[in-house]
Amino acid sequence: MASNAAAGSGCGFSVLGNVLSVVKAYSTRVGSGPFPTELEDALGQQMQQKGNEFGATTGRTRRCGWLDLVGLREAVRLNQPSQLAITKLDVLSGLPELKLCTRYEYQGQEILFPPQEEKGLFNIKPIYENIAPWQEDISQVRAFDELPLEAQHYIQCIEQALGVKVTIISVGADREQTIVRQEALF
């Protein structure tokens, strides 16, 4: 949590100023446990291979799935970032479909935040919004307005759902493959 950075340095959270949360353009998880948006099919494997989703230390494969805005909404609530960095947007290029999990169905109701009870995530059903995919290779793009309109829309949907501006976008693994928007707060 962002507040731990302040506590660990001996100051209050309010002196941090800007908090940048870094998020992949899709969800991943290592090991067992609930993963509401997991893709247990060829599409999940394609994301895993293209995104090089293997643990750096253990080499274990990371499970891949659609971006879970419900879980991210909770992370934003807890960490209160002033801006977001979205990494690995290029991994989504060329997919035949694209979805965002915008809410969960839980005990017959639609919820915007994860259930706060033990094993609650085992009893939810993700609700998705279909997003138009893009087919273009975006690895050479260096400005937000040069991204395909569908990729811009994907980022804008994340911003709208979370209420936080995406100011940094990576479109590849190299340092130069980074879009820094004018709104960046640093």
Residue 46 maps to a domain? no
Contacts 24+ apart (CB under 8 A), 43-48: 43/95, 43/96, 43/97, 46/95, 47/91, 47/92, 47/95
- pLDDT > 90? residue 46: yes
**What is the structure's pLDDT at 120?**
86
Among the listed residues 83, 80, 88, 65, the one whose alpha carbon sits nearest the alpha carbon of residue 159: 83
Question: Which region among 45-54, 58-67, 127-136, 176-185 has the lowest average model confidence (pLDDT)?
Answer: 176-185
Is there a domain that residue 9 lies in? no
pLDDT tens digit string along 85-118? 999 999 999 999 999 999 999 999 999 999 998 8
Find, among 64, 73, 83, 80, the residue nearest to 25 by Cα.
64
pLDDT for res 181: 94
CATH number at residue 147: 3.90.170.10
- Per the domain annotation, does 114 fall within a domain? yes
Average pLDDT over residues 148-168: 98
- What whole-number distance in Å separates Cα of residue 35 and Cα of residue 27? 9
Contact 121, 52 (CB under 8 A): no
**pLDDT higher than threshold 70 for residue 3:** no
Q: Is a pLDDT exceeding 90 seen at residue 151?
A: yes
3-state secondary structure of 183: coil
| Residue 115: inside a domain | yes
The strand ranges marked E within 6-114 are: 20-24, 27-29, 63-65, 67-68, 83-87, 98-106, 109-111
Confirm whether 123 is domain-assigned: yes
Residue 60 included in any domain: no
Predicted confidence (pLDDT) per residue in 58-87, tens digit? 889 999 999 999 999 999 999 999 999 999
Q: How many domains does the chain have?
A: 1
Within a domain: 30? no
Per the DSSP assignment, residues forming a β-bridge with 23 are 86
Could you tell me if residue 43 is inside a domain?
Answer: no
Residue 15 has a pLDDT of 65
Prediction pTM value: 0.91
Q: Band of the pLDDT at 119, cuts 50, 70, 90?
A: confident
Residue 157 confidence (pLDDT) above 90 = yes
Domain that holds residue 81: 67-180
